[in-house]
Structure 1
Amino acid sequence: MDYNILIGGAAGQGVETLSSVFEKVLQRNGFKVFSIRDYMSRVRGGHNFVQIRFGDQELFSHADELDGIIALNEETVDLHIGRLKADGFVICDKQVAHADDRVMALPLMEVARRVGNARVSGSAALGAALALLGISATEVEAVYSKIFRPDIARQNAEAVLEGSKLVQPRYNLSLPGDNLSLPKNSLSLPKEGENILINGNQAIALGALAAGCKFYSAYPMTPSTSIMNYLASKMMDAEIVVEQAEDEIAAINMAIGASYAGARAMTGTSGGGFSLMVEGLGLAGMLEVPLVIAEVQRPGPVTGFPTRTEQGDLKFVISASQGEFPRMVI
């Protein structure tokens, strides 16, 4: 079992929140989840999307073809329908005009207004998607309650329930009580395990803590900053020192000093910041001081694209700093 759903829209439409809720609902139902995010560096407008792959087996990468699209605006349909499978579906508001038979134009805004909050139309779309996939929505309100205050959480959960009803006649779903039932031939749910849902930077931070890291210094640079943020949130529990330096040069030298003093030390940055760290890397090599650097790559030279990711720095990292000394690039 392997499904790939894309949620897209403009910044400010709730793409991130909706995707996070969908991921948590999938995880609570026992699915393995792997998602990627693509967002622009702006507060409103543009095009953002999250691609969520899930199934009953371990997943280690994203997939190209899409089984479904939850489109919060027309641009999302236009940009991504070319990757949609022949038997896939698109869920969008009825105001979106698209001739493709796979597009299900539903009265999502009407549902949101009936619920009493025009901003919950995305939750109505999520409800329709869950119903189509045959995935239980019993955990939705619990997930929303951790994000919003109680009245807003209830409105979103109600929108999910009402949205699921929009596809009932077509897919013959029933709604016993407040929960979605599993229709015949729907996705079979694996047993719920003790799995957790984390992002890549949290995984790096947890790995550092598990390995005994006691000092982390960095200057904030997207997309590496959340490593520092997560470690800082665990300072008291893990007895780790987290220091925000004035720049990347200071950050790597602090980490080298901590390592020289006997602490397991680490720093993190992105491509432009690592360029500033190169001389410090050579210093660590000359001193034979162990050091871990998380280079969370962003595209482009100089400042590049701060909200995007790629693997363009690999050759640079392998050969950074003059001379020969041992290094491992993972």
Structure 2
Amino acid sequence: MNRNSVNLLIGGEAGQGLVTIGQILAKSLVRSGYSIVVTQSYHSRIRGGHNTYTIHAGADRVIAPLETIDILVALNEETMTLHRHEISPDGIIIADEAFGISDDVSLRVPFKELAKQGFLNIAALGVVGSIIGLTEESIAGTMDKFFGKMDQKTAEENRLALSNAFRWTTGRSVSFSKLPPVSDPPKRLIMNGNEAIALGALSAGLKFYSFYPMTPSTSIGIALAGWAERMGSIVEQAEDEIAAINMALGASFAGAPSMVSTSGGGFALMVEGVSLAAMTETPVVIVVAQRPAPATGLPTRTEQADLNFVLYAGHGEFPRAILAPGTVEECFHLTYRAFELAERYQGPIFILTDQFLADSYRAVAPFDVENLSPVSPGSDPASSSSPYQRYALTDNGISPRLLPGISMQLVVADSDEHTEDGHLTEDLTVRQRMVEKRLKKGKGIRAEAIPPQMEGDKRPDLLMVSWGSTKGAVLKAASQMRHTGKNVSTLHFSQIWPLVSEQFMDYLQGAREVVSLEGNATGQLAGLIRRESGFLIEKQILRYDGLPITPEYILRELTK
């Protein structure tokens, strides 16, 4: 008998190789045709602590993390203690026989007989791969590609540990249903949210990226650095976040499409640079990968508490857009859109993600990059008038942006208030006109706002409102409730500023009950909706313990 999906958790200390086998297993599943959602939970340590790598995999489309565990791979005894209560009724525990466990749900594995020290995690990989129905050949091929070139002896030990584990498991009677085989697996990529953001930026023509490492945004820079030479881009690790954003503004001013990324604490240092981008009308894409705060908070956990921070960051009044991807695919496409908006409206555009989505690997169809054109920075010098006015007053607030050094025109910019030709001024009439000119661009950004995605009946008994990375969990919970006969719909925001009430008020007013679901303690999107539309969402399901919202969490909270 086969099962349609499986949720397996690998747990242990940092340094035990659990991420290694988690990634190899995830890649093997995708290459075998399965859909996956990966959730990573780890402490801010190089060694020790309790870390987990969870893979929810299925033959059908998988969109959300789960709490109930079907297979618990315990690389240490602490993992069993912490997660035993999460095992499903037909679940099993894979653990070393040296732990001395004696129960009906545990598969006691003699790991030291199957592999040498240093290769025990590969033996665990083989055991779990065999149990869920993967072939030894598929995992071995994935493992070889994952490790790349290594010395022959190490490669042989990896293969031996994997083979011994498959042979040992095959000889046991394990009462666990395997995943159904997928015939003719589709060609898909495996990537996480941060990797998709990096690819989206490159597809838009990114030429300069600066950053200071800060979890959970760091892997964007790592991915871009790996492609920099091939794509002709520059990746610069700055001395701090202040330098990072100012480097990006300088590169953008010179004509290089630019991006920075950080988390909340690092963004606090970038805020003055955000206002500089607005005043000088310089395009820049800013990625803020959220984690629990204030201060250092929980550096390796997830949260959605920086919406208001990003919305109001920067002194003065100026337009911006905030995009909040809910899937890996949206990470790619919304990053591309962010570059388009930044170039068109000449200012800061934000992408708001979080640790869960940043680290969550998914199976995605290859992106159609052939039909995506990179942004074209700057204006055509031939279309500019003389004398050139960088900040010329226009009906839509968008002024011609010539790049310095590509024409005979003099390009003047200033961080002080300035005249149309870019020179600083104390003329208060000019000041008022320039404020109004910059704010006019907000009307254009508003006109291009992405409407929220509505799924289900337009007049439901219950409408669940969400944004960002909660998308999959909310959709899954709604689907489960519909299967019980309930009339439930979802309204998901992938752009959270500007909010255009005409795009969603009919949905809110048409529902008998509306509940908002957010990964923060104060219901920040719900508050923003009330401010912009006057609609009060009275019931809120909030999570702020550092863990992602799951379908089970939603269903539990709805019954309270």
TM-score bucket of the superposed structures, by smaller chain: 0.7 to 0.9
Which of residues 272, 276, 280 is equivalent to 1:287?
Answer: 280
TM-score normalised by L of structure 1:
0.88
User: C-alpha separation between the residues in 1 aligned to 2:184 and 2:319?
Assistant: 45
1:42 is aligned with what amino acid? R
1:5 aligned residue: 8
> Which has more radius of gyration?
2
User: Does the 8 Å contact 1:141/1:153 carry over to 2?
Assistant: no
Offset at residue 119 of structure 1 (A): 2.3
2:461 aligned residue: none
- Residues 275-320 of structure 1 show CA distances to partners (whole Å, capped at 9, x for unaligned) of 0011111222233332211111222222333333332322322222
User: Does the 8 Å contact 2:59/2:179 carry over to 1?
Assistant: no
Offset at residue 186 of structure 1 (A): 4.9
Which of residues 241, 255, 259 is equivalent to 1:262?
Answer: 255
Q: Which moved more, 1:68-77 or 1:222-231?
A: 222-231
2:77 is aligned with what amino acid? E
2:118 aligned residue: 119
Offset at residue 99 of structure 1 (A): 4.9
Offset at residue 266 of structure 1 (A): 0.8
Offset at residue 172 of structure 1 (A): 7.6
1:1-330 matched pairs, under 5 angstroms: 1-112=4-115, 117-146=116-145, 147=147, 148-171=150-173, 186-329=179-322, 330=324
User: Does the 8 Å contact 1:144/1:153 carry over to 2?
Assistant: no
Offset at residue 71 of structure 1 (A): 0.8
CA distance 1:321–1:149, change in 2 (3 Å): same
Moved segments of 4+, more than 6 Å = none
User: Does the 8 Å contact 2:216/2:290 carry over to 1?
Assistant: yes
1:127 is aligned with what amino acid? G
Offset at residue 123 of structure 1 (A): 2.0
User: C-alpha separation between the residues in 2 aligned to 1:267 and 1:172?
Assistant: 50
RMSD between aligned alpha carbons? 2.3
Offset at residue 184 of structure 1 (A): 9.1
CA distance 1:72–1:91, change in 2 (3 Å): same
Offset at residue 90 of structure 1 (A): 0.9
User: Does the 8 Å contact 2:5/2:179 carry over to 1?
Assistant: no
1:160 is aligned with what amino acid? L
User: C-alpha separation between the residues in 1 aligned to 2:62 and 2:317?
Assistant: 37
Helix, strand or coil at the partner of 1:166 = helix
CA distance 1:149–1:32, change in 2 (3 Å): farther
Helix, strand or coil at the partner of 2:191 = coil
2:395 aligned residue: none
2:126 is aligned with what amino acid? G
- Residues 215-271 of structure 1 show CA distances to partners (whole Å, capped at 9, x for unaligned) of 211122222122112212222221212222221112112222222333321111111
Aligned residues: 317
